[in-house]
Structure 1
Amino acid sequence: MLKIVYPICCGIDVHKNFVVATIATTDRENITTYRTKRFSTFTKDLRALALWLSNNQCVHICIESTGKYWIPIHNILEPSCQITLAHPKYVKAIRGKKTDKKDSIWIADLHKHGLVPGSFIPPADIREIRDLLRYRSKLVSFASSEKNRVQNSLTVSNIMLSSVVSDTFGKSALAILSHLLKHPDDQDFDFRPLLHGSMLKKQNDIALAIDGTINDIQAVKITLCLSHMDDIKRSYVARGTAF
């Protein structure tokens, strides 16, 4: 017979709008009784879940990590319970007529024997930093995607700045691009005052590179992309201490 690791424990089957919790209580004769209740995922009901667990002296909880839906439950139960976050593959029930109640009982049965390996849950402050850094990574990815879109628009417009300059979004290149967007019919403008540093040595190549036409559609697309990039950059500056 398997050893009872947690005489009183709870298995929680998690869904978006509700959870089904089963408390498994095993006596000295290894007879287990079950009490099952369903709670909504509103905070008030989750607090009722925490109170129900406390009233039944249940502190060992096993939660199936379903998407992000387990996080609200974890937020409420973390201060008062010892939580094991289970990957779904480790608590998958045997095929058959499954119900939410049966699933929660199955999770509780596995947990009472200590058979569920828990996923690592970092401390709250680390979780917050990690969440922020993940979002920052997405913003960086968005900015890179917008740069690629601008470059594609320039290519289809026969503007080959990327073949001449090392950074299409450097100070000189952006100044030239800004002029082309504001004055699409000015093909022979004097761009030399817009050049800086090593760009001054590339005047002839730059003249050849900007010999193209940005039509209205591409101009709108480039303008929107540059605006989005500026918004992302401003978010970095505004939240510099956080990012």
Structure 2
Amino acid sequence: MMAIPGRLYGIGVGPGDPELLTLKALRLLKAAPVLAYFVAKGKKGNAFGIVEAHLSESQIRLPLIYPVTTESLPPPLSYETVIADFYDTAAAVVAGHLDAGRDVAVICEGDPFFYGSYMYLHDRLAPRFEVEVVPGVCSMLGGAAVLGAPLVYRNQSLSVLSGVLPEDELRRRLADADAAVIMKLGRNFEKVRRVLDDLGLAGRALYVERATMQNQRIVPLAEVDPMASPYFSLLIVPGEKWQG
């Protein structure tokens, strides 16, 4: 007799502070027979570090190890092709456990559907299996909290932008924004800072690295070393204050 397929859980574990794990995430995490997590080769991974203390010895740990961690690859390699093949393989591995009747919890730093790696498994597996997604505190909200920066007042709108955008496009979108969060900085930092200076927004912009983590750093925009801005960094341009 064929096993009843397991259920897939996409679980957001928050931006770094273990206490920002939700009660629902913790309950499902502890109950799952298989815990899957994305990680770079030779690393433990931030998401795994957040939940490690809550795991039991009986749970199967399923690391999904990235083949590359940079989008810059020598020809003829294509990052898009390499990473798409990786997600195909990772989905097949997870599906093997689900087909065997084991529930799988895939943990994801922040929120699964907000720049979360989980979404690439979701797109591949949700048509075939029962799925539940548990939202998590995303990095931009963790950043706003530690910076003490209300994001949007009253009827303002918030733009979430990628620092990878071409400079002209980034300038256009920021010029039209009431408030903005800029992510994916890293090597794009100097370009982003230049655009903020050009638009006269540098005075409002706030920068944080690894928000809510133990090694969190808040640095004045002008003092950020563009060659040392880590992946887990973001910029917030809060909305203009409104005295309600």
Alignment TM class, shorter chain as reference: under 0.3
Higher fraction of helix: 1
Q: TM-score, normalised by structure 2?
A: 0.26
Structure with the bigger RCO (C-alpha within 8 Å, sep 6+) is 2
Q: TM-score, normalised by structure 1?
A: 0.26
Which of the two has higher C-alpha Rg? 1
